[in-house]
Chain A
């Protein structure tokens, strides 16, 4: 047995998709693997290129723009990028806004979904229809009237202006809805007989059982909120109150010779979410698959 383990992997193709005697199939799969791997490597180039550039000195980049190697790797560009723009503030703003948006969205949307699934109230189908129609509302198109509304409310320039419009998220209601539908009615009935109120059932039974839905909604809301551009651009006008994407966008087309500094800023802007993605890869991919298909 031990020898078969030591056999080079190329010889031992996994048997999952292998039929009886299809040599053609194996060749096809090998070709597919090569082609796809090549493509995936090309996909990583922009990341690597930004990273490499950010670690090289500017004069070297100017002299040999397409050489992916340096004789003088250094972190100067990062120090410069950090000091020359309020990146720290942008991180803080993005973090506070995204976290509060996630908390509000999860709470408000799961409440509504619980009501729609487990409670029978007059007008329920009208509410459901309204939320369903909300799936078709292109909110990005409405920034101008939204701006007028927030100016009238006197909330421009505050975190609330960014958070409040994204709380009522119809897709999130449907994600929670499909999870809570799966909770056995008998479980809730038993809790009712024990004298539990609806709030207790929601917080002690329905929510703990919807943990996958919570994480899917939370992660996707966080990513969307962190990356939002147009609306924060309109309402957060002070440099120090901006979020990462808005702040970074002001660096595009700026000083053309500071390649390394610009790329260092880009890398710093990518880092937090990329770290989240690497940690929670499985959940994120699962979440996208679930919400996209719903």
Chain B
């Protein structure tokens, strides 16, 4: 085999044990490699890195969104304004609150149901269909349906409260009712995504482990508690971080269903940026808010990345 003349499959790309200087790239390959990577890099730099830099620059000027041009230099005053603005922190808190309300539900409920479904050997397709189908529905359609079901007095969900002898909260008029409405909608809409991630992980667990446990007389509950759940821990970590990140980025449901109301009491950060940037036309200020929010999101995912690397190397 003369395979060494060719690049090895890049299995250990990204680790430190194979510095690039040890192998000299042939000239033709060098050019071809860059040609293959260039289209991606061009899009990546233009439309992903570009906006970060543009946001950074604009946040230092008093730019307005209605006119072209940067406007006058503002230094760090936009940041000072953002960080001392009560509305900004209120909207930040709403995004965090939404995350705190949805994450436990969307990490644990799909786990429980994925485990229960895995114990049923028939009609798996039915559960996949029922749970995952909502995920492919556009947010606006979900909101149309739920807005109808939340209608005071005539809506299906409003009436469902009555069947259990409860009174439905005011879904559009009260803050707590609005949160309930938006959390329930989100649970229905995105449950299937996490359910599928868990189901895929459960299918990786070998059948023999369960057989052995049964030989030893383990009850179903013990099998779940002592085998399935511990083996799913890495997946739970993944689902947790994906859920936290996507919940922190909430916009669609709250904007379409409630418009951030009542009285801005549920408005998330993205809508705050949207309102200041596109309704009040304060581009520079909104860009500063964007950068603060951006840094928080990057820190959250970087923290998870580092934690995971540490736990991986601890296990290795």
Contacts and interface: CB of A to CB of B under 8 A. Distances in A.
B1 A285 contact: no
Interface stretch (A69-77, A104-112, A210-218): A104-112
B227 interface: no
Contacts of A118: 6-7, 9
Nearest to A121: B33
A65 B146 CA distance: 14
Interface in A98-145: 107-109, 111-112, 114-125, 127-132, 134-145
Contacts of A140: 249, 251, 270
B193 A288 contact: yes
Interface string B160-190: 0000000000000000000000000000100
Contacts of A167: 43, 47
Q: Which of A29, A39, A109, A223 counts the most B-chain CB atoms under 10 A from its CB?
A: A39
A151 B278 CA distance: 13
B294 interface: yes
A122 B235 CA distance: 35
A284 B126 CA distance: 15
Contact of B6 (A46, A125, A189): A189
A143 B287 CA distance: 10
B298 A138 contact: yes
Q: Which of B3, B144, B199 counts the most A-chain CB atoms under 10 A from its CB?
A: B144
B131 to A, nearest CB: 6
Contact of B294 (A141, A149, A290): A141
B144 A251 contact: yes
A252 B20 CA distance: 56
A87 interface: no
A114 B34 CA distance: 11
A226 interface: yes
Nearest to A94: B138
B219 A24 contact: yes
Nearest to A120: B7
A227 interface: yes
Interface stretch (B77-85, B86-94, B97-105, B151-159): B151-159
Given A145-B54, A181-B9, A115 B33 contact: yes
Interface string A136-170: 11111111111111011000000000001101101
Contacts, number: 362
A137 B48 contact: yes
Contacts of B264: none
A202 B128 CA distance: 35
A146 B221 CA distance: 51
Nearest to A259: B148
B133 interface: yes
B74 interface: no
Given A43-B131, A144-B286, A252 B144 contact: yes
B30 interface: yes
Interface residues of A, number: 123
A202 B142 CA distance: 41
B226 interface: no
Interface string A170-209: 1001000100011101101100100000100010000000
Given A141-B297, A269-B138, A274-B137, A293 B7 contact: no
A128 B151 CA distance: 51
B214 A285 contact: no
B57 to A, nearest CB: 9
18 contacts: A39-B113, A50-B144, A65-B155, A117-B9, A130-B41, A143-B273, A144-B273, A144-B274, A148-B283, A149-B47, A168-B47, A173-B40, A181-B10, A234-B278, A248-B141, A269-B140, A285-B128, A292-B200
Interface of B: 1-3, 5-11, 13-14, 20, 23, 25-26, 29-37, 39-41, 43-44, 46-48, 50-52, 54-55, 58, 63, 65, 68, 113, 116-117, 119-122, 125-134, 136-149, 151, 153-156, 159, 188, 191, 193, 196-197, 199-201, 207, 210-211, 214-215, 219-221, 235, 238, 242, 245, 249, 251-252, 256-257, 259, 270, 273-274, 277-278, 283, 286-287, 290, 293-294, 297-298, 301-302, 305
Which 6 residue pairs of A and B lie closest in terms of their CB atoms, listed nearest first? A121-B33, A115-B36, A289-B200, A19-B214, A145-B55, A112-B40
